[in-house]
Amino acid sequence: MKPNPNPRPEADAVEPSTLYDELVAAGCQVDNHESDLYVFGSKKAVDIIKAHQATHDGFPRSVSNFFSEKPPGGWWIEVPFAYAPWWRARAPKASES
């Protein structure tokens, strides 16, 4: 097999597939409790969430905001059931199916 004369590593990269992945790829500050995703309420995060809501049927509509005094302090956004690593850890492995 001949090597690709024009390698494009970005073509081999996995595209973000979940809201969590999109937020992390954009450099947003995220946290979680169990399967609930928390993201610091920056303009970038709000824009990503709104775009995700517009393009994904079944996306949780119960997104809420809360204020935290814990560092860094400020407004956070809670997205129920959207912390992808929690779900990935519980997904059946290919060898189990």
Domain boundaries, the chain: 19-84
Q: E-strand spans in the chain?
A: 30-33, 36-40, 64-68, 74-79
User: Over 50: is that where the pLDDT of 8 sits?
Assistant: no
Indicate if the pLDDT at residue 1 is higher than 60: no
Q: Say if pTM beats, i.e. exceeds, 0.85.
A: no
The per-type count for the chain, helices as H runs and strands as E runs, is 4, 4
Q: What is the mean pLDDT of residues 16-24?
A: 89
Q: What one-letter code names the amino acid at 31?
A: D
Residues above pLDDT 90, as percent of the chain? 45
Confidence class for position 52, pLDDT limits 50, 70, 90: confident
Res 47 pLDDT > 80: yes
Place of tokens 């169990």: 34
Q: Pick the range with the lowest mean pLDDT from 25-39, 52-66, 74-88.
A: 52-66
If one compares 79 and 17, the residue with the highest pLDDT of the two is 79
- Residue 59 to residues 27, 84, 94: CA-CA distances in angstroms? 21, 13, 26
Q: Which amino acid is it at 57?
A: D
